[in-house]
A and B are shown apart, each in its own frame.
Chain A
């Protein structure tokens, strides 16, 4: 199962956007919900995009917890739920990494946001689609400014998590 999710981590966002577009478009099987070109369409697309990252990274984090920890917790009198809680606590930073990686992937990708959101001003325009639009318009200075904001947010989050992990 993990192998399947691993395989989907690197799926091209344009391809995923296209398939989801076909699903959500008016003539598609989910067209009834009219999610295309709405924020919901983007949310659905990003969820599909990041699910493999979250599953794969979280599974790896849980697998990396020393299996003897469960035995230790049992011999100290922990219940099944308390043992699970200990394992989750040990995997905390791995799970945090999964969430940050998923956020960065969703926040910084273009294909799904463009194809499912349509880059509609004040409705579905996000940083990446705005950068693409302003570049196409020749507003390079604005594009660069927006890209700095994008990079700043992505890098700040990653650095904050790294610092928190180091100090824990």
Chain B
């Protein structure tokens, strides 16, 4: 069995009395895409933020390579791509190089790493373009390149292709697949065809709880949980 790169154990998150996550257990392995699927408000983004070290769980713990880590340590191991891509002022190069600079990557290595990351998302040659002048699809590709350039062991990607056209979606999906060869990728999506195309494992989150998880092929072909069956058929209520 493949060793889990990142694990959430019994993670609970409460906001002002309401329960966003309820004793969630999630594992993602090196070299795999693990998709977290679920309806809006299921807790997918909250879970990703906790795994990225951007939020702290009310209870439970997060492990990297079987060792419990703090949110600060998590941020050194993981990076996250958000649904809404936020561009820094400046060029595409500035954006992709930013994370490398703040992490004190040697200056001579930065151009090559930026170039490699941009190639994965088909944006080579875009280095000098103003990032904020790009289309939303191109900006999302820059956001993914920015995360890939860091070469972190875990990448968490939240709804990467929401509202994007098929061409950009295809490039982003190829980039995600390629990036998963050398790291663990956790993908949050309510786009089931996308989860089916990309995932090695799928986790179904419903009202803050994991109701089913398993190998992608089995998950879609033979879901065990009633709520998962309804979700796959598009009949699950919020």
Q: Which of B43-91 contact A (CB under 8 A)?
A: 52-54, 75-76, 78-80, 82, 84, 86, 88-89
Residue of B nearest to A82 (CB): B102
Chain A 138-166 interface mask (CB, 8 Å, partner B; 1/0): 00000000000000000000000000000
A90 to B103, CA, bound (A): 20
Q: Which of B83-139 contact A (CB under 8 A)?
A: 84, 86, 88-89, 98-99, 102-103
Interface residues of B (CB under 8 A from A): 52-54, 75-76, 78-80, 82, 84, 86, 88-89, 98-99, 102-103, 146-147, 150
Q: Provide a sorted-by-A list of 26 A–B residue pairs whose CB atoms are within 8 angstroms.
A: A66-B86, A68-B82, A68-B84, A68-B86, A69-B86, A69-B88, A71-B82, A71-B86, A73-B98, A74-B54, A75-B52, A75-B53, A75-B78, A75-B79, A76-B99, A76-B102, A76-B146, A76-B147, A77-B79, A77-B150, A78-B99, A78-B102, A79-B102, A82-B102, A86-B88, A86-B98
Q: A90 to B88, Cβ gap below 8 A?
A: yes
Cα distance A37–B179 in the bound complex, in angstroms:
70
Q: Does A2 contact B (CB under 8 A)?
A: no
CB <8 Å contact, B54 and A71: yes
Complex Cα distance A78/B102, Å?
A: 6
- Given A69-B88, A89-B89, A90-B88, A76 and B82 touching (CB < 8 A)? no
When the two chains form the complex, which single residue of B88, B89, B103 contacts A77, counting CB atoms closer than 8 Å?
Answer: B103
Tell me the nearest residue of chain A to B74, going by C-beta.
A75
Beyond A76-B99, A77-B75, 5 additional contacts (C-beta under 8 Å) are A68-B84, A75-B79, A82-B102, A86-B88, A89-B89
Q: Given the complex, which residues of A lie within 8 Å of B80, measured CB to CB? A: 75
CB distance from A53 to the nearest CB of B (A): 24
Across the interface, do A75 and B75 meet the contact criterion of CB distance under 8 Å? yes
Tell yes or no: A11 within 8 A of B by CB.
no
Q: How far is the CA of A90 from the CA of B102 in the complex (A)?
A: 16
User: Looking at A68, A73, A76, A86, which has the most chain B CB atoms within 10 Å of its CB?
Assistant: A76
> 9 shortest A-B CB distances, which residue pairs?
A76-B99, A78-B102, A75-B80, A77-B103, A68-B86, A72-B86, A82-B102, A75-B79, A77-B102
Q: Is the CB of B54 within 8 A of A75?
A: yes
Shortest Cβ distance from A62 into chain B, in angstroms? Answer: 14
Contact with B along A39-79 (1 / 0, CB 8 A): 00000000000000000000000000010110111111111
A80 to chain B minimum Cβ distance, whole angstroms, is: 11
User: Which single residue of chain B is at the shortest CB-CB distance from A69?
Assistant: B86
Q: For residue B52, which residue of chain A has the nearest CB?
A: A75
Contacts of B76 in A (CB 8 A): 77
- Give the distance to chain A from B136, nearest Cβ to Cβ, in Å: 14
A72: chain B residues at CB < 8 Å are: 82, 86, 88
> Does B86 contact A76, Cβ atoms closer than 8 Å?
no
B98 engages A76 (CB within 8 Å)? yes
Q: Which of A69, A75, A77 has the most CB of B within 10 A?
A: A75
Interchain CA distance A66-B89 in the complex, whole Å? 11
Point out the residues of chain B lying under 8 angstroms from A89, CB to CB.
89
Contact A76 B150 (CB under 8 A): yes
A77 to B102, CA, bound (A): 7
CB atoms of A74 and B82 under 8 A apart: no
List of B residues within 8 angstroms of A78 by Cβ? 99, 102
Q: How far is the CA of A121 from the CA of B2 in the complex (A)?
A: 85
For A79, give the chain B residue with the smallest CB separation. Answer: B102
Pair A76/B54 contact, Cβ less than 8 Å: no
- Cβ distance B20 to chain A, nearest Cβ, rounded Å: 17
CB–CB B89/A76 < 8 A: no
- A85's nearest neighbour on chain B, judged by CB, is B102
Residues of A within 8 A of B147 (CB): 76
Residue of B nearest to A90 (CB): B89
